[in-house]
Structure 1
Amino acid sequence: MSYQLPIRLISCSLAVLAVCASYGAEQRYSPQELEAAKAKLRQHNRLWTFQAGAIFGQEWLSRAPEDAELRALYARQLHGQLYGRREIQEQADAILEREPDNPWGLYAQALAFLADWKHSEAAESSLRAWELLPRPEFAATHLQALRSKGVEEGMAFLGSLDAETLQHPEVLHARAELEYTARYALEEPAYADTSLATLAMLRARWPDHVSGYFQAAEQLYQSNKPQEALPLIEEAIRLSPGSAEVRYWHWNILNKTDLLPADERHPAIEASIAEYRKAAPETGRGLALLTTTYRSVLEDEEKAAEFEAKLMALAPESRHASWIHQEKFQREYQRLQPELDRIEREHGADSQEYQDQLRLVCDAAYQFLEKPLYDDSFRGRAYLDLFYALSTMNPIPAEELADAVRGLVRYEQLNPHITHSVAPISMADHTPYAEEAAELARGGIQAMIDKAEKRGGEEDSLNYYLSLVHDAIGWASYKAGRIEEGRNELERALELSGTNTSVHYHLGQVFEHMATEAEDQDAAEAVRNWLDKAEESYIAGLEARSWGENPCQEALEALYERRHGSREGLDEYLAVFNERERSRRRERILESRLDTARTYEPFALPKLDGDLVDSADLKGKIAVLHFWGTWCGPCVVELPEYQKFHARYLDDPEVEVISISNDKSRDVVDKHMEENEYDFTVLMDDGYVQTADIKGWPTTWFVDGDGYIQIVQLGSGGSDSHL
């Protein structure tokens, strides 16, 4: 294929030549040397030796800073070793400030967007680059962006490419990644085999290109086939002994393969590490992977600390250093959480031992937040864990909680139901900043709309999210003394979604407040009306029972006592109500099947012991699919209740309770299960959640026997009342 320059690009190139002429006296290279340098950078791409490539590229940029192609190829080295957007964007800006439509600048900009997980923006920039100059690198980057933005759009773009471009190694690599994603996005499991076939084609046509071996090995490992993965990753190492990415997967595969006796695996990993260190320069990315491997795979904390110290000395504020800080914090949190659960079981949540353990969790979060982190995206998880620890304390430290909520709202975007609802509500309940809490919640309206649109813009999903925000705004406004405004916001929340237990409880509380005001005015009929409304609200709230305590239950009991002067007859009242509500729930769930039920993408995921569970085997049963991770604070908090839920239906042949962990390490999940004595079924995610429309953590699906999702419970919640 010949790459012809459009007229506009020719004029841009002439401008670049003029700039080059101005550098003439300072140039220390010939045109042939410059082209050889670019070829060398492409060779680093081929071998996945991005660390050495970045060093080489930086050296050449000091000699030829005006060359856009060279700078973009250097940006590719940064992207390959997972640098953040900041460093890559600097390269794009250096090009685009001179030439806004330079295709190499747009390519570098697309890489920067990919580093920041902004796939729509990356797709736009890469497509523009491709339209200006149809280079295979640009097509491959566009496919990479579309892999997360829209698989069908990616397949269509793939179909538009000419035969020569389709055979380019980077395009074949991107195509294989797209096909691997399509197995879920298009509900076609056969695409997993198609992806491996594409990689086989890549190896056959380009036998010296590492991607064909490396990516196939990674996919096989993720599919719990380390024996098949090992020879492929070893061939990748033969081609590229100094690639940190290739070595890292080699170490993980060695740790799991049955081709080596268990007592030979760690020595084999140590030998591979020694070979890597001889072949590669010492870089931030390499040191980070060595630290992680010694800490998580080899469990050698002394060596992990040695490499961590080198990383912090070399690049203390890098993205790689921040990952290590985050990894250490998560490990410390996972170490503290089982002890916290044990103390709660043995001594209770009000015990001093429990409160002391909560303070250790807070201290770990504070220590992490004091680190020189690469950017603010690392702070969200710590503020989430900090918030949960502080909100569980007795008494709750008001100022600390308020600061934690402010941090959540500023930095945490993955769990909007917590950030913009649960947290502001807690702030209103336990601090003197109810006015501020209302404003913090109000700021989440657009964030909820944006998130729902990114998830496909389904009306039910959007309304549920907005209901949570209006609930928080309403309750905080009420706590701030703006009773009527609070009531209006809560009623708005109820209009948006009637399944939100919290809003029913809050409305009931407001109605009881109105009844109290009517009592002060001796308005007996108004008192009865307001109390009737409160009762109706609490009863409605009990329809959506969640794991753990439901505030509507206690509120309804207290209201009964308020109206009758004692609790005499309460049990009979609740028994009648409970039976009535069970019937209503059954009717509502059956009706919802017709309106909102949907199928889900099939899966075949490995359990912790390696055995596969196929979603096809769930047909005919009620299935409860719970998505969680040890990294998710709310997930970990609710697991004791989930364990009870699992135990209740363990012997029921018509119900299957399954959890899907989003953790990267099976060992981490194994350890968490063992320490907490959990025995529910855990499947390991291999990328499934990316295409399963998971809107927050944790999420639970209640699926009927025909494979239709009847209920999606976002966040902590869900119960046997849905079955």
Structure 2
Amino acid sequence: MSPRSPRRALWLGLLLACGACGVGGAAPDYTAEELEAAKAQLRDHARLRTFEAGLPFGEEWVARVPDDAELRALYARQLAGWGLFRELHAQADRILSEDEDDPWGLYVRALAYLAEREYSAASEPSLGAWEASPRPEFLAAHIESIRGRGAEHLLALFSTLDSATLAAPEVLAIRAEIEFQARYELGDPTWADSSLASYAELRARWPDHVDGYLRPAENLFMANRPEEALPLVERTLALAPGSADARSLHWRILAGSSLLSAEQRRPAVEAGMAEFVDAAPETVRGLYAMAEAYRRLGDGMKAAELETRVVERAPHSLRATLISQNEYQEAGDTMVRLYREEGRDSPAFLAQLEVVRDAVDRYLARPIYADRYRASAYTILFEALNSMDPVPAEPLAEAVRGFATYERAHPVNAFGIGAAAMVDHTPYAREAAEIARSGLQTVVDAVAMDRHLFRTEGEFEEQLRFQLSRVYDAMGWGYFKAGRIEDGRHVLERALALEGRNREARYHLGQVYEHFADESEKSGDAEAAVEWLDRAEDSYIAGLGSARVGENPSQAAIEALYERRNGSRNGIEDYLATLDERDQIRRRERILESRVEAVGTYEPFRLPRLDGSLVDSADLEGRIGVLHFWGTWCGPCIVEMPEYQKFDLRYRDDPDVRVVSISNDASREVVEEYFARNGFDFQVLMDDGYVQRAGIGGWPTTWFVDRDGYVQFVKVGNTSKLDEEFSWRVEAIREAADGH
């Protein structure tokens, strides 16, 4: 139901009955019938996606009837077709200033956020519009806003809708899109067929609605099925010859597939352009679409002519901004190509860095439609500046500030990599640390937006920990460099607690430990200095082991540390050759020292396998037991699963050892699907509340139990070299029992 009061509704009815009388009683220049016809025509433009003609038509009618919320919303749909989110917000402001709960205004606000790709922000207004007035277009906007929740969730939502709502063209179209999304998210190709069937239903029910033709055509073309896509686009063009959306896809198919010979492509595209010019008014959107087509044909000169017309006609427009981006994006593409082909020290690559810098500077000095279009410019500028030798400090600092201000698609790059570079190359370490700290929630939000892409909660958590670790590393390194030594140490240790394979954090923490060694030497505490240097060495060795790919800062650091401790580089080659062995020895010593001092028994259990058969803890009596608690929702658990599979295989046929995995997942199906996808086959028991009774407080947790049922070792948290380190614990228990 509409939120308007009966009195307000009566007032609006009287206003419409008198022809929307103007100020001072001036007679309107339209009739009620003409207004309804205008609304119908705007709906037709949306249905046909002829936004080039719909936008000026809507502008004319909104100027004539400024207080009709429905008319403004129908005009806003044309703006949405252009992607003009600033103008959409202005229309929403106008409607909602009269009534903050007006469903048309809420719908337009949602359209604005969707055009801006701020999907979570669009959820509330779109839901409010749908609840106030259950119109199909409101529901479609809401479903679009929550696509991040995943196809499975959305498909369940469709099952709750009545048949009339499901048959609406807007809902049919979005359902087909979700089914197409499910094909990839759920790994089931049959959903692509379901999507095509839904589009076929849309065409059957609404044969004059272009979404039934255009959207499946685009999906088919993306799936490399142009021969099936082309007839659908041609049907669209018969309905809407003046649609730039339909023309653009048609030109992409003609120019980018093997349906035509190379000689036939340009004449075919240009023939379509001539038809488009005849069918639609000239707009910057249409000119931009034709320029893109010429670029695909390889005619940069013709494309540039059309782009110049766009910029001259509307220098502050969205299309002018997109055109202005081309220069620095092409320069950036060349930079990446030269790096891959010739390396970072090649003269061509180094010269291209200045080309990128100049192109970005020119872009940022021009009118820009909205701040979000600054993000990629600062990203490319940062990459260029950070590759220079020497790195220019002030320009880099400005680039990182802009990078962090505007980047939202991949914020870990700004708040992690960018902030760390600012620490390394500028005098603004403290500011860089604060930039990193300010981005923590942004990173969490960005990863959460892609939650539906992860198969399990564990995989989602793994990615979240990975990205947060990079940001904590930049923050801790900045604090250390700014003189907040203890803060830096604790934050870097936090980075490694989140992700032990973070080699930059390993290097940075090693530098912190060397600082403590310096302080100990100054105070005359030689023993403490040696301990700190040992810790630095361990950190560098772990950093080398975490990723021996590409440049690794721990390599130079450990060589410098060797020279520091030995007074020269004599013998360094032999030392470096034994690093893995030294790392192994130290890790084993620490593990054996971690044996539980006050050993005790554990809570007995009787738990089901995946097949339902029961396993009793009494079966472990007389054997060495390994009880491993995990779940697919646990990121650190997921990280170590391949190593756990190796460990299980090592002892699977050992009659003296029993390895038991206990999953805390909600259902067997979740575990079975995870196993099938990853090829795991170790034995799993399903928790029935046992982990709570047993007092498990961290994930993963592993108990190592002797033959008498006493827990000798407890490991909480994941292990990068699980097979090796778990085996040391098992063999230590075996040796102790055998009297060795």
Q: Where on the TM-score scale, by shorter chain, does this alignment land: which range? A: 0.7 to 0.9
Relative to the length of structure 2, the TM-score reads 0.75
Matches within 5 A, 1:214-233: 214-233=214-233
Tell me if structure 1 keeps the 8 A contact 2:338–2:349: no
**Alignment-derived partner of residue 283 in structure 1:** 283
In 2, Cα distance between the equivalents of 1:455 and 1:268? 40
**Alignment-derived partner of residue 678 in structure 1:** none
Match among 502, 505, 508 for residue 503 of structure 1: 505
In 1, Cα distance between the equivalents of 2:52 and 2:680? 51
Write out per-residue CA displacement over residues 514-538 of structure 1, whole angstroms, 9 at most, x where no aligned residue: 2122222332111101101101111
- Match status 1:387 vs 2:382: yes
**Alignment-derived partner of residue 361 in structure 1:** 356
**Alignment-derived partner of residue 313 in structure 2:** 314
**Alignment-derived partner of residue 13 in structure 1:** 9
**Alignment-derived partner of residue 63 in structure 2:** 62
**Alignment-derived partner of residue 252 in structure 1:** 252
Identity of aligned residues (%): 49
Q: Which amino acid aligns with 1:112?
A: A
Q: Which amino acid aligns with 1:412?
A: E
> Following TM superposition, by how much is the alpha carbon of 1:257 offset from its aligned partner in structure 2, in angstroms?
3.6
Write out per-residue CA displacement over residues 671-712 of structure 1, whole angstroms, 9 at most, x where no aligned residue: xxxxxxxxxxxxxxxxxxxxxxxxxxxxxxxx966699xxxx
* Secondary structure of 2:75 counterpart: helix
> Following TM superposition, by how much is the alpha carbon of 1:151 offset from its aligned partner in structure 2, in angstroms?
2.8
**Against the structure 1 CA distance between its residues 19 and 520, is the aligned structure 2 distance closer, same or farther, given a 3 Å change threshold?**
farther
**Alignment-derived partner of residue 734 in structure 2:** none
In 2, Cα distance between the equivalents of 1:71 and 1:261? 46
Write out per-residue CA displacement over residues 355-405 of structure 1, whole angstroms, 9 at most, x where no aligned residue: 333211211221222221111111111211111211121121111111111
- Match status 1:424 vs 2:409: no
| Unmatched runs of 5 consecutive residues or more in structure 2 | 452-456, 592-625, 636-644, 646-676, 683-719, 724-740
| Unmatched runs of 5 consecutive residues or more in structure 1 | 601-621, 623-702, 709-718
> Following TM superposition, by how much is the alpha carbon of 1:147 offset from its aligned partner in structure 2, in angstroms?
3.0
Write out per-residue CA displacement over residues 197-244 of structure 1, whole angstroms, 9 at most, x where no aligned residue: 111111122222211111121111010001111111111111111000
**Against the structure 1 CA distance between its residues 477 and 19, is the aligned structure 2 distance closer, same or farther, given a 3 Å change threshold?**
farther
**Against the structure 1 CA distance between its residues 493 and 368, is the aligned structure 2 distance closer, same or farther, given a 3 Å change threshold?**
same
**Alignment-derived partner of residue 610 in structure 2:** none
**Against the structure 1 CA distance between its residues 214 and 369, is the aligned structure 2 distance closer, same or farther, given a 3 Å change threshold?**
same
- Match status 1:263 vs 2:259: no
**Alignment-derived partner of residue 99 in structure 1:** 99
Tell me if structure 2 keeps the 8 A contact 1:103–1:133: yes
**Against the structure 1 CA distance between its residues 341 and 360, is the aligned structure 2 distance closer, same or farther, given a 3 Å change threshold?**
farther
Tell me if structure 1 keeps the 8 A contact 2:410–2:446: no
In 1, Cα distance between the equivalents of 2:86 and 2:98? 19
In 2, Cα distance between the equivalents of 1:248 and 1:574? 59
> Following TM superposition, by how much is the alpha carbon of 1:411 offset from its aligned partner in structure 2, in angstroms?
1.3
**Alignment-derived partner of residue 330 in structure 1:** 329
Q: Which amino acid aligns with 1:322?
A: T
> Following TM superposition, by how much is the alpha carbon of 1:167 offset from its aligned partner in structure 2, in angstroms?
1.9
Tell me if structure 1 keeps the 8 A contact 2:3–2:132: no
**Against the structure 1 CA distance between its residues 18 and 439, is the aligned structure 2 distance closer, same or farther, given a 3 Å change threshold?**
farther
> Following TM superposition, by how much is the alpha carbon of 1:69 offset from its aligned partner in structure 2, in angstroms?
0.7
Q: Which amino acid aligns with 2:407?
A: E
Superposed CA RMSD: 3.1
> Following TM superposition, by how much is the alpha carbon of 1:599 offset from its aligned partner in structure 2, in angstroms?
13
Q: Which amino acid aligns with 2:301?
A: E
**Against the structure 1 CA distance between its residues 6 and 278, is the aligned structure 2 distance closer, same or farther, given a 3 Å change threshold?**
closer
* Secondary structure of 1:42 counterpart: helix
More relative contact order in 1 or in 2 (CA 8 Å, sep 6+)? Answer: 1
**Alignment-derived partner of residue 110 in structure 2:** 110
> Following TM superposition, by how much is the alpha carbon of 1:418 offset from its aligned partner in structure 2, in angstroms?
2.1
**Against the structure 1 CA distance between its residues 78 and 91, is the aligned structure 2 distance closer, same or farther, given a 3 Å change threshold?**
same
* Secondary structure of 1:160 counterpart: coil
In 1, Cα distance between the equivalents of 2:349 and 2:73? 54
**Alignment-derived partner of residue 443 in structure 2:** 448
**Alignment-derived partner of residue 128 in structure 1:** 128
In 1, Cα distance between the equivalents of 2:118 and 2:92? 15
> Following TM superposition, by how much is the alpha carbon of 1:540 offset from its aligned partner in structure 2, in angstroms?
1.6
- Match status 1:575 vs 2:577: yes
In 1, Cα distance between the equivalents of 2:437 and 2:306? 45
Tell me if structure 1 keeps the 8 A contact 2:52–2:281: yes
Tell me if structure 2 keeps the 8 A contact 1:19–1:66: no
> Following TM superposition, by how much is the alpha carbon of 1:569 offset from its aligned partner in structure 2, in angstroms?
2.9
Tell me if structure 2 keeps the 8 A contact 1:119–1:149: no
In 2, Cα distance between the equivalents of 1:578 and 1:185? 40
Tell me if structure 1 keeps the 8 A contact 2:179–2:194: yes
**Against the structure 1 CA distance between its residues 469 and 256, is the aligned structure 2 distance closer, same or farther, given a 3 Å change threshold?**
closer
In 1, Cα distance between the equivalents of 2:61 and 2:586? 72
In 2, Cα distance between the equivalents of 1:9 and 1:152? 39
* Secondary structure of 2:207 counterpart: coil
- Match status 1:78 vs 2:74: no
**Against the structure 1 CA distance between its residues 583 and 42, is the aligned structure 2 distance closer, same or farther, given a 3 Å change threshold?**
farther
Write out per-residue CA displacement over residues 170-213 of structure 1, whole angstroms, 9 at most, x where no aligned residue: 22212211211122233332111111111111112222221111
**Alignment-derived partner of residue 594 in structure 2:** none
In 1, Cα distance between the equivalents of 2:334 and 2:222? 26
**Alignment-derived partner of residue 34 in structure 2:** 33
Tell me if structure 2 keeps the 8 A contact 1:147–1:181: no
In 2, Cα distance between the equivalents of 1:227 and 1:470? 51
Tell me if structure 2 keeps the 8 A contact 1:89–1:108: yes
In 2, Cα distance between the equivalents of 1:132 and 1:432? 55
**Alignment-derived partner of residue 46 in structure 1:** 47
In 1, Cα distance between the equivalents of 2:3 and 2:87? 31
> Following TM superposition, by how much is the alpha carbon of 1:576 offset from its aligned partner in structure 2, in angstroms?
2.7
In 2, Cα distance between the equivalents of 1:518 and 1:580? 25
In 2, Cα distance between the equivalents of 1:9 and 1:706? 62
**Bigger-Rg structure (1/2):** 2
**Against the structure 1 CA distance between its residues 125 and 707, is the aligned structure 2 distance closer, same or farther, given a 3 Å change threshold?**
farther
- Match status 1:513 vs 2:515: yes
Which deviates more, 332-341 or 394-403?
Answer: 332-341
Which deviates more, 386-395 or 121-130?
Answer: 121-130
In 2, Cα distance between the equivalents of 1:134 and 1:9? 18
Tell me if structure 2 keeps the 8 A contact 1:402–1:431: yes
Tell me if structure 1 keeps the 8 A contact 2:501–2:547: no
**Against the structure 1 CA distance between its residues 178 and 568, is the aligned structure 2 distance closer, same or farther, given a 3 Å change threshold?**
same
> Following TM superposition, by how much is the alpha carbon of 1:164 offset from its aligned partner in structure 2, in angstroms?
2.3
**Against the structure 1 CA distance between its residues 566 and 106, is the aligned structure 2 distance closer, same or farther, given a 3 Å change threshold?**
same
Tell me if structure 2 keeps the 8 A contact 1:226–1:256: no
> Following TM superposition, by how much is the alpha carbon of 1:102 offset from its aligned partner in structure 2, in angstroms?
1.2
**Alignment-derived partner of residue 682 in structure 1:** none
* Secondary structure of 1:543 counterpart: helix
**Alignment-derived partner of residue 299 in structure 1:** 298
> Following TM superposition, by how much is the alpha carbon of 1:474 offset from its aligned partner in structure 2, in angstroms?
1.6
In 2, Cα distance between the equivalents of 1:419 and 1:707? 40
Q: Which amino acid aligns with 1:308?
A: E
Q: Which amino acid aligns with 1:442?
A: R
**Alignment-derived partner of residue 546 in structure 2:** 544
Q: Which amino acid aligns with 1:525?
A: E
**Against the structure 1 CA distance between its residues 389 and 187, is the aligned structure 2 distance closer, same or farther, given a 3 Å change threshold?**
same
**Against the structure 1 CA distance between its residues 530 and 98, is the aligned structure 2 distance closer, same or farther, given a 3 Å change threshold?**
same
> Following TM superposition, by how much is the alpha carbon of 1:321 offset from its aligned partner in structure 2, in angstroms?
1.8
In 1, Cα distance between the equivalents of 2:634 and 2:466? 20
**Alignment-derived partner of residue 715 in structure 1:** none
Tell me if structure 1 keeps the 8 A contact 2:378–2:402: yes
Q: Which amino acid aligns with 2:440?
A: I
> Following TM superposition, by how much is the alpha carbon of 1:480 offset from its aligned partner in structure 2, in angstroms?
1.6
> Following TM superposition, by how much is the alpha carbon of 1:583 offset from its aligned partner in structure 2, in angstroms?
11
**Against the structure 1 CA distance between its residues 331 and 354, is the aligned structure 2 distance closer, same or farther, given a 3 Å change threshold?**
closer
Which deviates more, 179-188 or 231-240?
Answer: 179-188
Tell me if structure 2 keeps the 8 A contact 1:340–1:357: no
> Following TM superposition, by how much is the alpha carbon of 1:595 offset from its aligned partner in structure 2, in angstroms?
4.9
> Following TM superposition, by how much is the alpha carbon of 1:274 offset from its aligned partner in structure 2, in angstroms?
1.1
**Against the structure 1 CA distance between its residues 119 and 365, is the aligned structure 2 distance closer, same or farther, given a 3 Å change threshold?**
same
